[in-house]
Amino acid sequence: MLKRVCALTLVIALLLLPVSAIDGERIARRGPGGTGKLALTFDDGPHPKYTEQILAILKEYDCKATFFVIGENVRAHPELLKAEFEAGHEIGNHTDTHAMLNTVTLAKACLEVNRCANAIEEVIGVRPLVFRPPGGAYSDQKIRAITEMGYRCVLWSQDSRDWTCPSVETTIQNAKKDLSGGAILLFHDFNGACSPTPDALRALIPELKAQGYEFVTVSELFGDG
C-alpha cells in the first residue's frame, strides 16, 4: 500500500513539474563532476585549414576529443572525418547544413540530423551518438525528438569564443574560466580566415594536463562507453 502511495505521489510530482524542468535534463552543459575529466569539442568541420592542425596537436598530447561535424563538410572532406575517427576521437552530429533549430520545423530539424548521420555513416560505417545544436539554439520539443532518435544532446560549459577570433591569450582565459572536472570545452575547427584555436590548444592542453585533468570524448565523459 505504502509503495502504491509513493508511486502515486511520484506520478503527481512529475505531472506538476514544469515541462522545462524535465526537458532541461535532455540537454547537458557539462558531464558529471569530481572525475578530473574534461571534454574538448570542436564544431563545424571537418575543414582542411584547421582540422589537420588540431588532430596533430591532439596526437602530440595524447588527447581524445569530440568533433561535432556538419554533413555538408563531411561530404566535402570525407578523408578528414576518417582521420578524426581513426585517431580514436568521437564524431558528433551538428546537423547537415548548420541549421539553427529555432528557425526550422520539427520535421526539417529531424531531416537535418538524419542527413548528417547518413553522411557520417557513409564514411566511417557508424552513426553518431551525440548531438549538439548549431549556435546552441534549440527548443525543448526538438531536443526531445532528437533524444528519442537515440542521441545524447550536449551544449558546453566553457565557451572559448574562438569563433569571434580573439587573441590566443583571451581564448585560453575564456576556456579556463571557472573550469572544473566534468567540463565541456567549446572550440571550432572551422573558423574562416582567422583562428586562435591551434595556438591556444598548444598552451592550454599541457597546462591542464599538468593540473591532473584527463581529456576524454563526450560519451566517455558521461560514462556511455
Q: Where does this chain bind Zn ion (CB under 5 A)?
A: 43-44, 134
- Whose Cβ is closer to Zn ion: residue 71's or residue 134's? 134
Minimum distance of Zn ion from residue 144's CB (angstroms): 21
- Whose Cβ is closer to Zn ion: residue 186's or residue 205's? 186
- Whose Cβ is closer to Zn ion: residue 43's or residue 84's? 43
Minimum distance of Zn ion from residue 205's CB (angstroms): 22
Contacts of 217 (CB under 8 A, 6+ apart): 39, 64, 65, 66, 89, 90
Residue 122, C-alpha cell as written in the block: 557513409
Minimum distance of Zn ion from residue 43's CB (angstroms): 4
Coil, strand or helix: which one is 214? strand
Three state DSSP letters for 8-68: HHHHHHHHHCCHHHHHHHHEECCCCCCCCEEEEEEECCCCCCCHHHHHHHHHHCCCCEEEE
Minimum distance of Zn ion from residue 71's CB (angstroms): 12
Minimum distance of Zn ion from residue 98's CB (angstroms): 6
Contacts of 43 (CB under 8 A, 6+ apart): 67, 68, 94, 132, 134, 186, 187, 188, 189, 190
Q: Could you confirm whether 43 is annotated as catalytic? A: yes
Q: Which of 77, 94, 98, 188 is catalytic?
A: 188
- Whose Cβ is closer to Zn ion: residue 31's or residue 134's? 134
Distance CA 47, CA 77 (A): 7
Distance CA 92, CA 156 (A): 13
Q: Which of 43, 96, 162, 189 is catalytic?
A: 43
Residue closest to Zn ion (Cβ) = 43
- Whose Cβ is closer to Zn ion: residue 93's or residue 219's? 93
DSSP H helices in the chain: 2-16, 19-23, 51-60, 71-76, 78-86, 106-124, 140-148, 168-176, 197-210, 218-221
Q: Which residues are known to be catalytic?
A: 43, 188
